[in-house]
Structure 1
Amino acid sequence: MECKVTIREATEEDLDIIVGMLANDPLGSQRERYEKPLPESYFKAFRAIESDLNNELIVASIDETVIGVLQITFTPYITHQGGWRATIEGVRTSASVRGQGIGSKMIRFAIDRAKERGCHLVQLTTDKKRPDSIRFYEQLGFTATHEGFKLKL
């Protein structure tokens, strides 16, 4: 029997599980601070996201247990005739449910939200050190059309 997955906006009460998922891989463990109590910086970021109409922190859950997270940012651009685009970031699923289609459901949800908001494009990045993630996004129809750059400050 398939479990029913619910996708909804995150609440502050979800932060502990969200940060735990973000920290639970080789790359995330180097940049996140998953400790009890959580550092205040996570709560400040959550409140900023929650108050911004162009940001959504989304979780997937089964029986009220959060098992996935992603963030969608909606951005207006002058390019593409002043069109909007959606950026998907911070996609994670709990290790206990990987390979069960949860990530695909979350990405489809984000794409649907982008369509509802009138976006002409959905974009995302993934670290080059995550070949499984690259294959996952390609299977969902994303193509690597651009070379991305980052500058750490």
Structure 2
Amino acid sequence: MRIRRATIQDEDQLLSLLEQFPVEGNDYDWRTGAQTFRRIVDNPAIGSVFVADEEGTLLGVVTLSYPIAIRCAGPYACIEEFIVDQRGRGKGIGGKLIQAAIEEARSKGCYELQVNRPSQSGYPVYIRYGWKDLGAHLNLVFGKRS
């Protein structure tokens, strides 16, 4: 198993894997995110996608975005999606994906790496790698994702 950057050729497997990602209401069609996936792969300045590849089968994914903030004097990184397929759990894949995200954020000179609203299964992985729980997350949704 190896961790690597996603390529356009990974799109179908990656989107199928992301369908396991817990989305409130479970009404999100991940296929609508295909265009965004392609934009990220084509423009690493806006984000990164790393996959866990076991002999051509994707068993996990972590995605990052790179917003900028005055308080950070530049970019910070945000983990947007993090999922390990049931078949890959218990093999250390989650930790390797998180480590790839940490290394990527550092290499881009990010001030910090954030995770908003981690899943129950992801939460312990983040804590194990040094994240601090800083409390509530708020959001305002402007439209339906589809």
Same fold, judged at TM 0.5 (above): yes
Query: Could you tell me whether the CA contact under 8 Å between 1:88 and 1:122 is conserved in 2?
Result: yes
Look up the SS of the partner of 2:100 in the other structure.
helix
The structure-2 alpha-carbon separation of the partners of 1:15 and 1:31, relative to structure 1 and needing over 3 Å to count, comes to farther
Alignment of 1:89 with 2:48, yes or no, is no
Q: Which residue of 2 aligns with 1:60?
A: 52
TM-score (norm 1): 0.80
**Which of 20, 24, 28 in structure 2 is aligned with 1:32?**
28
Instruction: From the superposition, tell whether residues 17 and 138 of structure 1 become closer, same or farther in structure 2 (CA, over 3 Å).
Output: same
Unaligned runs of 5+ in 2: none
Structure 1 alignment gaps of length 5 or more = none
TM-score using structure 2 length: 0.83
Q: Match of 2:77, SS?
A: strand
Q: Work out whether 1:102 is the aligned partner of 2:112.
A: no
Identity of aligned residues (%): 26
Amino acid at match of 1:79: R
> C-alpha distance in 1, partners of 2:121/2:133?
14
Structure 1: 4+ residue segments shifted above 6 A: none
Larger RCO (CA within 8 A; separation ≥ 6)? 2
Aligned pairs, number: 141
SS of alignment partner, residue 67 of structure 2: strand
Deviates more, 1:143-152 or 1:107-116: 143-152
Q: Give the 3-state SS of the residue equivalent to 1:119 in structure 2.
A: coil
Determine which structure has more spread, i.e. the larger CA radius of gyration.
1
